[in-house]
Structure 1
Amino acid sequence: MTNKLKYGVSTWLWQSPFTTESISLFSKIKAMGFDVVEIPVENPELIDAKVVGNALIEHNLKPTVCGVFGPTKDLTHDDVSVHETCFRYVEKCFELCNAWNVDFVAGPMYSAVGKARMISSEERKREWELAVSNLGKVCEIAQDFGTSIALEPLNRFESDMVNTAEDVMRLVNDINHDKAKVLLDGFHMTIEEKNIRDAINTVGNKLIHVQVSENHRGIPGSGLTPWLDFKKGLEDVNFKGAMVIESFTPEIKELAGAVCIWKDLAESQDGFATEGLQFLKETFNKA
């Protein structure tokens, strides 16, 4: 039930990329009242798994791992060498999972973020089949590491492949591997879904991770998201994973540009985190 929810926050709210030095955020994140810290792995070479692992233990934070998939890590690329780069990258992410006792890598790993085009039905079918085939290979790698993947639908401006719960379940069913699971992100859902509760039920027990911000990427509770429907949906499927606040600092221009954040979404990033957490606990911990 939702009263078992663990609450987390992505380090992207403050920094990009995550490096070993980013552990300086952990004491603040713990003091704010979070149980979980989400670590986006932009470059695994910048992360000392042991140092980060010790800091996680010191601050009693449970990590989650989010993969980052740009043009150089695109499983639907025409060039198979790009697929190989992606396979090697996800292996490094799974190694971090093993080091930190995390049981999945989350993210939109079926294609490159921002790949949103008008293409022919034949090309779309070809790319879909590539994604299914290559994600099957990723699931085999995940199985070797004792982990899973959590596939994330993105809104139509960030992906032309998987936008809804229905889309991601079609993908999971086509992959047909028990290591293929689902992440749902409330921001994307408010753009693409007709009903958030129905969308969560569409995914059902495949849902192992949730990310949230508002429909405008701002502080949870400050926008149009139907949070009661969200809560009921998670209760329907008996969700027991983590709910992680994911938004981005406008201070990191490259990242802010990639997600189209052109202005401050809160008076401070710390305020974003603390106000968001307070709202989530008040909403989802109610009987």
Structure 2
Amino acid sequence: MEDAVARTAAAGYDLLELSLHDRDRLDVAHARRLLDDAGLGVACSRGLAFDADVSSDDPAVVARGEALLHDSLQVTQDLGGTHLTGALYSALGKYPGPLTDAGRRNVVTVLRGLAGEAASRGMTLGLEVCNRYETNVVNTARQALALADDIGADNVLVHLDTYHMNIEEDDLVRPVREVGERLGYVHVGENHRGYLGSGSIDLTGFFHALVDVGYTGPITFESFSSSVVARGLSNDLAVWRDLWEDGDDLARHARGVMELGMAAARRRS
């Protein structure tokens, strides 16, 4: 955490997103002090596991996932954050079949309860739209909106990620406009998850769409390389290549691309 906070601040960011997949190894109080001292905001993200999956038909598995989500909400608040986001609705991995009706009902019930607790704490939940190889619950912005409608809570918003959108959506503009004011969190990443601007993602169109809908929430950069990602998460996300080794250069470069891209989009709006 000391390393992550110091290097994030040095790269010019004002928010650090923490994955809670390694939550048991996180010294929350120490991390909070580091973040506060550096003047960094924090958001937390996570997906679930197949033995703690709220989209399961098995009540015991659902209960474990629900407990994990409520614990993650508490950790996020203890860190000083107000955003808990990610694949909160399922395990992170390839499913052998489609989502069942019972599984979807379980997702709605659990997240409705979590949203109520989050609202009482002044917190927001994000439904990250992920590709078909990482979940069978929400693969498009339209599906995320439908799930949020069924949950029926104003503090449940949509989280768009350009990497996943590149796989599942027709383009990177119309989904942003369709989500509109219900967009609550953004991941910017390349199609190969490496250096921003070195792949095929339509960053210009995406940044213009964000400006068109008046988005003012967090915009975070997400990238993975097998040289740094924890082995379990690397395996789950199929990160098999060393796409980069110098995280400081990667982070500074990405911040510049995002900052200049959003500034250019605002000037042309």
Answer with 217-226 or 89-98: which moved more: 89-98
The alignment covers a number of residue pairs equal to 263
Q: Structure 1-normalised TM-score? A: 0.86
> Match for residue 137 of structure 1?
113
Matched, 1:118 2:118: no
Match of 2:247 among 265, 269, 278: 269
> Match for residue 15 of structure 1?
none
Q: Give the distance between the partners of 1:173 and 1:159, measured in 2 at CA.
A: 19
> Match for residue 28 of structure 2?
49
Higher relative contact order (CA 8 A, sep 6+): 1
> Match for residue 254 of structure 1?
232
> Match for residue 229 of structure 1?
205
RMSD: 1.7
Matched, 1:152 2:128: yes
Structure 2 portions without partners, runs of 5+: none
| 1:87 Cα deviation from its structure 2 partner | 2.2
Identity %: 27
Q: Give the distance between the partners of 1:224 and 1:285, measured in 2 at CA.
A: 21
Correspondence 1:149-228 to 2 at 5 A: 149-228=125-204
Matched, 1:79 2:58: yes
> Match for residue 13 of structure 2?
34
| 1:129 Cα deviation from its structure 2 partner | 2.0
1:43–1:80 CA distance, 2 compared to 1 (3 A): farther
| 1:267 Cα deviation from its structure 2 partner | 4.6
1:133–1:109 CA distance, 2 compared to 1 (3 A): same
Q: Give the distance between the partners of 1:156 and 1:97, measured in 2 at CA.
A: 27
Q: Give the distance between the partners of 1:136 and 1:69, measured in 2 at CA.
A: 17
1:118–1:73 CA distance, 2 compared to 1 (3 A): closer
| 1:181 Cα deviation from its structure 2 partner | 1.0
Q: Structure 2-normalised TM-score? A: 0.91
Q: Give the distance between the partners of 2:37 and 2:4, measured in 1 at CA.
A: 13
| 1:47 Cα deviation from its structure 2 partner | 2.2
> Match for residue 7 of structure 1?
none
Is the 1:248–1:255 contact (alpha carbons within 8 Å) kept by the matching residues of 2? no
Q: Give the distance between the partners of 1:32 and 1:104, measured in 2 at CA.
A: 22
Q: Give the distance between the partners of 2:16 and 2:140, measured in 1 at CA.
A: 26
